[in-house]
Amino acid sequence: MTAIKKPVVCFLGPVASYTHQATLDRFPEDKYELLPVVTIKDVFDTTQSGRATYGVVPFENSTNGSVVFTLDHFADRQGLYPDLSVCAEIYLDVHHCLLGRSPPEGHPEGEEPASSSTTGTAPAQQQQQPLKLTSSHTFGPTSTSSSAGNLLSTIAPGVSNDATPTGQRTPTPSDPSPQEPRSRPLVPLTRIERIYSHPQAFGQCTRFLSAYLKGVETVDVSSTSRAAELVRDDPSGTSAAISSAAAARLLRDQGVEVLAHNIEDREDNTTRFFVLRADSRAPGPDDLLLDDGSSPEQQPRDQQKTKSLLSFTVPHTAPGALADVLSCFRAAGLNLTSIASRPSLEAPFQYVFFVEFEGHLSADPEGKVARVLEQVKQVAQGSRWLGSWVNQRR
């Protein structure tokens, strides 16, 4: 009997990235084949080419705003992704950890660990191994209080939650009273010389970095899970990563430990991801959520909360050109939920605008969405519908 081929879902990897966790939340592995790729561009390329049925990318964070790398690809300045559209969204609560390795033998911190805790010593060399993760792993948010010790017992055995934080890099003359972060280090951080992470993660952890790691070099990498791998591969113990508790669990046996939990600035830190597809006729993953087997397009409008995304450009020298486009939505009675922009690169200070609004192109009994899209075409320099989906934020 020939096995049924699973639809492929590509995501920004490596495994244990927040995008991977969001993908697992929506695409069960018994029904889909999950494919990690290295960059956001790879997600767009793989989905557009048809090698993947769906692609999952981060779109915005509640603390740090839009993911500009994703917006730049939606701008599609070279016309590489003419068939891609958004068909679903996923929300994920994001709780960051600071990951590192135990200091090598002979290091002062290795001989005298903080407080009464002991962290052990990682092997001097670790064989590089790819991360492996399945939906059987759990990614519950890390605790901010009493359950932190339980988490430490699973992620970094021997590290006590009572370890005295050093605060060694603050205060400074330029910032004598830094803002108090939500959490403190579990061990001294004096040996840390560089921190790897995704730019979005750095922007979500500014208080902790300012309080405990001011002046330390920050290095942008493609994802938080890649940052954890770089820490694993540095036997000196001078590197750290802003990453997830999931990455810490997977790399625990390779010398990676949690140095601090919940270092994000806000407890309600949330990232929204978009699901891309190249064929608008293909069923979207939201179909799995409907008990009667019907698609969101077949549901009565009053039972759905839906959204759509539109991009457009206007002549930046024409007075009121942007207002003319936005007035189309007001006239149609469609509520705008967000607006963003990126440089068009066609001329200095000319932009591609992205407008998200309530309504669904396929579930549009009164024709409001179709009508406003046509009106925007008349007043904008150029426009493109980028997808409609069911709102998952109730």
The arithmetic mean of pLDDT across residues 271-284, rounded, is 81
pLDDT greater than 60 at residue 295 = no
φ, ψ for residue 274, nearest 5 deg: -110, 145
Q: What is the pLDDT of residues 308-356, one digit of tens each?
A: 999 999 987 788 899 999 999 999 999 999 999 999 988 888 899 999 9
Fold assignment, 1-94+269-280 = D-Maltodextrin-Binding Protein; domain 2 (3.40.190)
Residue range(s) in the chain whose domain bears CATH number 3.30.70.260: 301-394
Confidence of residue 104 (pLDDT cuts 50, 70, 90): low
Q: What is the pLDDT of residues 139-181, one digit of tens each?
A: 333 333 333 333 333 333 333 333 334 444 455 666 666 567 8
Compute the distance between CA of residue 203 and CA of residue 115 in angstroms, rounded to an integer: 30
pLDDT of residue 289: 39
The arithmetic mean of pLDDT across residues 192-217, rounded, is 93
pLDDT greater than 90 at residue 92 = yes
Record the pTM.
0.77
pLDDT greater than 50 at residue 112 = no
Q: What is the pLDDT of residues 55-87, one digit of tens each?
A: 999 999 998 899 999 999 999 999 999 999 999
pLDDT of residue 98: 97
The arithmetic mean of pLDDT across residues 187-207, rounded, is 94
Mean pLDDT rounded to a whole number for the chain: 80
pLDDT of residue 1: 53
pLDDT of residue 107: 58
Q: Is CATH 3.40.190.10 what the domain over 97-126+147-260 is classified as, yes or no?
A: yes
Q: What is the pLDDT of residues 10-35, one digit of tens each?
A: 999 888 899 999 999 999 999 999 99
pLDDT of residue 131: 45
The arithmetic mean of pLDDT across residues 253-278, rounded, is 95
Residue range(s) in the chain whose domain bears CATH number 3.40.190.10: 1-94+269-280, 97-126+147-260
pLDDT of residue 371: 94
The arithmetic mean of pLDDT across residues 46-50, rounded, is 96
pLDDT of residue 175: 62
Which of 332-358 are b and which e, b meaning 16 or more Cβ less than 10 Å from the residue's Cβ? bebeeeeebbbebeeeeebbbbbbbbb
pLDDT of residue 317: 78
The arithmetic mean of pLDDT across residues 87-112, rounded, is 79
The arithmetic mean of pLDDT across residues 221-239, rounded, is 94
Confidence of residue 277 (pLDDT cuts 50, 70, 90): very high
pLDDT of residue 193: 95
CATH of 301-394, one of 1.20.1260.10, 3.30.1490.190, 3.40.50.1110, 3.30.70.260: 3.30.70.260
Compute the distance between CA of residue 353 and CA of residue 103 in angstroms, rounded to an integer: 48
pLDDT of residue 170: 54
